[in-house]
Chains A and B, each alone.
Chain A
Amino acid sequence: MEPVVEIKNLTTSYNGEPALQDITMDICKGEFVGILGPNGSGKTTLLKSVLGLLQPVKGEIRLFGGPVDNGARRRMGYIPQKGSVDLSFPIKAFDAVMLGRYPMIGLFRFPSRSDRQAVEETLKGVDAWHLKDKPIGELSGGEAQRIWIARALVSKPEILLLDEPTTGLDVKSQGQIIDLIHHIHKERGLTILYVTHEVNNVSCYLDKVAYLKRNLYAYGPPNEVIKAETLREVYTGEVEVITEGGRPLVIVGDHCHV
């Protein structure tokens, strides 16, 4: 399969601190890749490097076989970590999703009927059409996450990058968002880079898992990578992995001794 994201010997620093060291990994078209690791392990840095928001110190990233340029950026959709926007900003859900169309509309032009149709279809596709007239500040955590997913999808990207989309949501909303992402992956055949802390909820959907802690500790199919030895090394704590129904389940902390 052809790689759409090629990361070669990537080394980056964030505010002068080394963040990622010598990362080499390929992500193939249509793969759903989970990026895991403790806080400050460089997961977000990896996404920002792929988006070209951070320049590598060493090494390179190639997207769709070419450099990280504006053309490549427009083929990607990004859902940043919660808390990156001002929720008191005067914008309604519909207009917030329309933002995702702006790069395609071009300078000096206004959204056309087809842009509005694209927003409508996308909002309906994530089951959020009923929220269209709500100001973003009035949305619940799960509702807001649907709007940001719609904003990323409305430009019909080929790669979707999600940064902890379920953090801070209640269990029901977490499940709904994960189901939605799984559905999008199956239906549209998108390549997905999914940064998360919570591997058990998604491991059955993931094609590959990457464990990061500045270096890339392991990268491969969940069954091969989610191993107690790897996790103890990455998280430096008590970790146990049990297999249930053919998929690995990670148990962290003192629960292991039950």
Chain B
Amino acid sequence: MSEIFQYDFMRHALLAAVLVGGICSIIGVYVVLKGLSFIGDGVAHASFGGVVLGFLLGINPLVTSLLFAFIMVSLVSLFTGRGKMKTDPAIGVFFSFMMALAILFIGLMRSYNAELYSYLFGSIISVTVNDLFIMLALGILVLGTVVAFFKELLYVTFDPEMALASGIRAGHFNFLILALLGLTIVISMKSVGMILVLALIVIPASCAHQLTRDIKMMFLLSPLFGISSSVGGLFLSYYFDLPSGATIVIILTLIFFLTAAKRVKG
């Protein structure tokens, strides 16, 4: 077991698994309860477009992917505000547009870029110390926000209209949730990949939702599933030479089936 920690890259990967698994599964509680999976997927695809543009222009892909995530959320809000359009088709429209941009930018690059594929499929073993610090900062931000605004975020997630009617600025807090979701996706993408990042957000919280009818328990169980399957998936992928992102998601899905079999009623 200990030989695996001889390598720097494995130690970094392990820390990344704990951080990304924890952060994604905490923000995932809101995603599952508010039904934000599709917008999450849209943001992931948009961010990937940003990453490609970053490589194309020689800019730090973190900056361009954040920008694209922000554009995606803004476009959807712009077209769905005040009952103008349903959220689902609005996401569908811009999701495809953002993916088209990503493919267009890849076409413009004219040369093969291997690093780009780690953003697509994830490469947890190529995480750098610098990446780890960014993840840690994000983790503190997400956890701090969830604790500081626990009441407001709970009310807005459960019953946004009542929250508004009782004088809570529901719009601000809805945006805060989307902003944290966007940040989480952008920062997790390099280690788990654009295609699988949503799984790490949605599945642990869905497992927790099967087992409890108390949101505080969900906030404990979800990271438990998220972190254990990330770390477990990393070990398995190391010993059996498997792609880490896919291994993590398959473990998560197995846990989901188990929890669904035990699900609470209500």
Contacts and interface: CB of A to CB of B under 8 A. Distances in A.
Nearest to B83: A15
Contacts of B158: 85-86, 89, 91, 96, 99
Nearest to A14: B83
A4 B210 CA distance: 46
A138 B266 contact: yes
Given A85-B159, A86-B158, A107 B33 contact: no
Interface in A54-87: 70-71, 73-74, 76, 78, 80, 84-87
B137 interface: no
Interface in B130-166: 148-152, 154-155, 157-159, 161-162, 164-166
Interface stretch (B101-109, B212-220, B227-235): B212-220
Contacts of A74: 166-167
A78 B148 CA distance: 26
Interface residues of B, number: 28
A114 interface: no
B209 interface: yes
Interface residues of A, number: 36
Nearest to A96: B158
B168 A135 contact: no
B152 A90 contact: no
B265 interface: yes
A53 B164 contact: yes
B105 to A, nearest CB: 39
Contacts of A108: 148
B83 A103 contact: no
B161 A84 contact: yes
B33 A89 contact: yes
Main secondary structure of the interface of B (DSSP, over half): helix
B263 to A, nearest CB: 11
B155 A102 contact: yes
Contacts of B159: 84-85, 99
Given A90-B212, A90-B215, A135-B214, A53 B161 contact: yes
A155 interface: yes
A18 to B, nearest CB: 15
A15 B157 CA distance: 23
Given A53-B161, A102-B152, A135-B213, A88 B166 contact: no
B151 A110 contact: yes
Contacts of A53: 161, 164-165
A87 to B, nearest CB: 8
Given A53-B161, A70-B167, A99-B162, A137 B266 contact: yes
Interface in B155-189: 155, 157-159, 161-162, 164-168
Name the residue among B149, B159, B166, B168 with the largest chain A CB count within 10 angstroms.
B166
A235 B133 CA distance: 67
A143 B254 CA distance: 37
Contacts of B265: 137-138
Contacts of A42: none
A105 B154 CA distance: 14
Given A74-B166, A80-B161, A84-B161, A99 B266 contact: no
Contacts of A151: 162
A165 interface: no
A90 B167 contact: no
Nearest to A72: B167
A100 interface: yes
A51 interface: yes
A206 to B, nearest CB: 24
A92 interface: yes
Contacts of B215: 89-91, 95
A78 B218 contact: no
Interface in A102-125: 102-103, 105, 107-108, 110-111
Contacts of A51: 165
A172 B166 CA distance: 31
B52 to A, nearest CB: 37
23 contacts: A52-B165, A73-B167, A80-B161, A80-B162, A84-B159, A87-B266, A88-B209, A89-B158, A89-B215, A90-B213, A90-B218, A91-B154, A92-B213, A96-B158, A99-B154, A99-B159, A99-B162, A102-B166, A107-B149, A108-B148, A137-B265, A138-B266, A151-B162
Interface of A: 15, 51-53, 70-71, 73-74, 76, 78, 80, 84-92, 95-96, 99-100, 102-103, 105, 107-108, 110-111, 135, 137-138, 151, 155
